[in-house]
Structure 1
Amino acid sequence: MLGRLRSGKIKFSIKHAVSKFILSFLIAFFVAIVPDYIGLSKEATLMLFILCFSALLWMTEAIPTFAVSFLIIVLEIFFLGYHDFNFDSNSKEWVYYLKPWSSPLVFLFLSGFILAIAASKTKLDLWLAKKVIFYFGSKPHNILTGLMLITFILSMFISNTATTAMMMTMLLPILKNMKENNPFQKAILLGIVVAANIGGMGTIIGTPPNAIAIGILGDKAPSFVGWMMLALPPSILIAFILRFVLLKSYPSTEETINIDKLKKVSHYDDSTTTFTKVPTIPSWKKLLVISVFIFTILLWLTGPFHHIPTPVVSLLPIVIFTIFGIIDTDDIRQIRWDVIILIIGGLSLGLGVMKTGLDQWLGTHIDLEGLNIFLIVSIFAFIVIVISNFMSNTAATNIMLPLVVALGSTLGDSIVSYMIISIALCASCAMVLPVSTPPNAIAYASGHLESKDFLFIGLIAGVAGPFFIITLLSFYS
């Protein structure tokens, strides 16, 4: 009986996915192909179909998000790489749509994953987190500040998912030492979520939407330091405001919280939900990881002085960690290749929109010139936040940014850059649901939070976040 039920569920799931796939195809076909749009070339019409079809697949999740990226590239090669589907023409145009696979951003993001794995294997992330917490002390407001600070900083350079999972290792003994009815438990859990989501805004490698924005901007993109100068002021301000909200909404019923048990935390085994000791890590490995980590970040930050491209610097930790065995074959398999493929899909979509002239056509037919730019960006920002709450913010950014480039093609490069960066940053403010982001899901799995807790803090982030991002960035446009 159980086997029949499972088989029935699988069949229903497959039928449901196929239905969504076919429906997405039909909608895209009737929107892009059936109408006879004036001034729209054949190539641009096909690109409009690919854009609509991929956007619908990402929104409906008919197939995995990374699979949509593969589909985009295949459709671009077949529809746009050969004129009139003439495969005997020896055309090399199809190679153009494979360029994102060799994009410098791929190596930049790969470097971020490598740094995260190295820090995790040598427990440097945990060591640093404990140092910060003990420095801030045992007062509730200080604990929240310390937890949010280290989560924010780590999320700037390594995955917010990995950062949240590591921070949960520390939170569990803290939660166990608190009274069960102390509302401050929710404050520190939500503080981790907020800091992990917002902290990723701070650097190019902090979160995939940032990388997609940089890829679409191309030569007009800000440098590593330039991005930080744009993104850090609003992200720090948003995190500070949300910290204040958490302290007021979930006040602690205890004046001090015992954090001594953190000294014994070295590893958390998810399968047994127990704390266990791990083998001693050679000191030379720790020293090497610390040195490479610091040196890499310094090179990223000092790019304007030595002029070594940021992606080239990214090769440093990849090469050193693999040569010295800190990163092995199993670690390479654990890299979030699906995220990298998703970024590549977004870059391919942007290339197709620009190469076929679809951006120019949309820009001339939907004229935004003369309209209030602040209002236009706000509308796009809130749309991407709403979408990102129900699907991957990476996929949502992939959908929105090519449209922004197209619609803003008549507004000038500086305005378009302002719009793209603002909307990419706003994607990180989507955290209304337990499933909106991986950090949300990890915190929700602890059992200490309810859906309404995310709704409360998510609404504040979704309203206040875009306001500060769009306002502060407007001074640079």
Structure 2
Amino acid sequence: MNKKLIILLSGLISVGIYMFLPADKNVLKGLAILFFIAALWITEALPITVTALLVPIVAVMTGIFDVREALSYFAHPIIFLFLGGFGLAAALHKYNLDELFAGFIMKTAGSKMIFSVIGLFIATALISMWISNTATTAIMLPVALGLISKIKERNHTTEVFILLGVAFSANIGGIGTIIGSPPNAITAANLGLSFSEWLSIGIPFMLILFPIMVIVLYVILKPKFPDMAAIYTIKTQDVFCNKKSYAVVSIFGFTIILWLLSKPISTWLGIEKGFDSIIAVFAIVLLVLFRTIKWKEIENFADWGVLLLFGGGLVLSGILSETGASVYLAKLVETHLVNYGPFLLVLGAVTLMIFLTEVASNTASAAILVPIFLVLGQEIGHFPPYELALTVGIAASCAFMLPVATPPNALVFGTERIKLKEMMKVGFVLNIICALVISVVAYLIF
């Protein structure tokens, strides 16, 4: 369908929602905006970042927020936390410290090809905790292709196993930290979680989902690895011949320690919220101060579209809260699902997020669904109010079926070594299993 026609129809339906649905006009205003923005995000009739910029415009034009309030969401602490993550990632990548770490993990895993491949997956997941899953996949893909080239007896399913394993490891690894994946940041911002608080939740989910992913891939694809060594040379002398590499490692380690200790430090300093973001900004200052990296390099490395998407998503959350639309939708869902019990409700929410993310940006999907399920959790009261929103946020990183679902999926599919039906077959099974596992774990631990 023509993109201009999609925009026009979305606008007309939004006006119809406001004009004709039987509900409070303020609520209808929020619902109309939600439909309009969600339609543009899901169809990508406009680039998702441009749609995010449209959210504060609509909020101001409809009288929900004034200009200052609408744009203040783009200065939310979580955005600066992610900016700090981009700065650290840029410095690590500049001195090839990410590749050094990957090589070390692979060498430690063992000389057998199968062990090196598993080591590659582990390294990808660990790096993806700190660097965007897109950049991580771009870094690890040449390594994966290098391993494949060393296999003398070419086996297609083995190639698919390695390539999908890299993409899926990047997706799952991103769950571990707030800065690992944009949906984490959207969820943490809505729930008010600190870096260390997210870590205590994200790491367990990552550790549970990662081996399940590897096992599912292995069982379905049945790769055949030759009995040969996988040679991967770690050129430490090339990395650490520059003293600035040591400075980057020191600043990175110092930042992680501060993030882990942010709660006691912020309490001691009398800072109530957002101290993690101050640490992130301080890390950028230190990187530039010690001349490990220039600001222009950080500027070129950072994904400014993602930061703007955060802002738009947070404005949308504010609109739903301010107009009462999130409460209205939560009560509507509660009316139809309350009799199914808390576990089925969690499972339904997680499954909805996973399959929505297959066709829409996971960040945009999180911005749409997290605020609604946060209020729904508060309304139902069967479990901690943040459980639904948190599990939905985690599920946003678990779309494995289509190339368009996540950038890592698209990157490995772009090698033209994987057929769409192969990705869909493995991805569908993994989607269902992850939905069940996330729901069961969330139900048991919350």
TM-score of the aligned structures, taking structure 1 as reference length? 0.85
Q: Which residue of 2 aligns with 1:156?
A: 129
Equivalent residue number for residue 145 of structure 2: 172
Task: Please point out which of 240, 250, 256 is paired with 2:211.
Answer: 240
2:11 — aligned with what?
25
* Structure 2 match to 1:255: 227
2:288 to 313, 322, 336: 322
1:310 to 265, 276, 283: 276
Percent identity at matched positions? 31
For the residues of structure 1 that align with 2:282 and 2:4, how far apart are their CA atoms?
A: 44
Is residue 113–residue 225 contact of structure 2 (8 Å, CA) maintained in 1? no
Q: Secondary structure at the match of 1:367?
A: helix
1:115 alignment counterpart = 88
CA distance in 1, matches of 2:395, 2:340: 21
1:342 is paired with a residue whose SS is helix
Return the match for 2:26 from 21, 34, 43: 43
Choose from 382, 387, 391 the match for 1:418.
387
How far 1:280 sits from its partner (Å)? 7.6
Q: Which runs of 5+ in 1 are unaligned?
A: 1-14, 83-92, 267-278
**Alignment partners' CA distance in 2, 1:454 and 1:61:** 23
CA RMSD of aligned residues (A): 2.3
C-alpha contact 1:81 1:94 (8 A) present in aligned 2: no
> Contact conserved, 1:101 with 1:344, CA < 8 A, in 2?
yes
Other structure's SS at 1:431 match: coil
| Greater relative contact order structure (CA < 8 Å, 6+ sep) | 2
Structure 1 residues 476 and 236: CA distance shift in structure 2, 3 A: same
Q: Which amino acid aligns with 1:292?
A: I
Report matched runs for 1:35-114 at 5 Å.
35-38=20-23, 40=24, 42-81=25-64, 93-114=66-87
The residue identity in structure 1 corresponding to 2:166 is I
Does the CA contact (< 8 Å) of 1:204 and 1:224 recur in 2? yes
> Which residue matches 1:207?
181
Give the drift of 1:417.
Answer: 0.5
- Kindly indicate whether the alpha-carbon contact (under 8 Å) linking 2:130 and 2:180 is maintained by their aligned counterparts in 1: yes
Q: How does 1:338-349 map to 2 (within 5 A)?
A: 338-349=305-316
- Once residues 356 and 295 of structure 1 are traced to their aligned partners in structure 2, the CA distance between those partners, rounded to angstroms, is 42
Q: CA deviation at 1:19?
A: 0.9
Distance 1:127 1:365, change over 3 A: closer
The corresponding residue for 1:226 is 197
Quick one: structure 1 residues 215 and 257, their matched pair in 2 at CA, closer, same or farther if it must change by over 3 Å? same
Tell me how far apart the structure 2 counterparts of residues 446 and 251 of structure 1 sit (CA, whole Å). Answer: 18
- Determine helix, strand or coil for the equivalent of 2:380: coil
1:279-294 equivalence runs, <5 A: 283-294=242-253
Pick one of 211, 235, 255 that aligns with 1:296: 255
Q: Return the offset for 1:18.
A: 0.6
**For the residues of structure 1 that align with 2:176 and 2:252, how far apart are their CA atoms?**
17
Classify 1:126/1:81 alpha carbon distance in 2 versus 1 (closer, same or farther; 3 Å): same
Shift of residue 453 of structure 1? 2.5
Deviations 1:28-83 (A, max 9, x none): 222x2122424x1x33322211111000111111100011111111010111247x
- Cα distance in 2, alignment partners of residues 422 and 133 from structure 1: 31
Q: Which runs of no fewer than 5 residues in structure 2 stay unpaired? A: 268-274
Q: CA deviation at 1:462?
A: 0.8
Distance between the aligned counterparts of 2:32 and 2:225, measured in 1?
57
**Residues 472 and 117 (structure 1), Cα distance of their counterparts in 2 relative to 1, 3 Å cut:** same
**Contact 2:70 2:315 (C-alpha < 8 Å) held by counterparts:** yes
CA deviation vs aligned residue, 1:327-376 (integer Å, no higher than 9, x gap) = 33143033111111111111111111111222233344443555412211
Give the Å deviation of 1:291. 0.5
Distance 1:152 1:410, change over 3 A: same
Aligned length: 434
2:250 is paired with a residue whose SS is helix
8 Å CA contact 1:225–1:300 kept in 2: the answer is: yes
In the aligned structure 1, how far is the partner of 2:12 from the partner of 2:417? Answer: 43
Name the amino acid aligned to 2:20.
P
How many angstroms apart in 1 are the aligned matches of 2:68 and 2:59? 10
Amino acid across the alignment from 1:340:
L
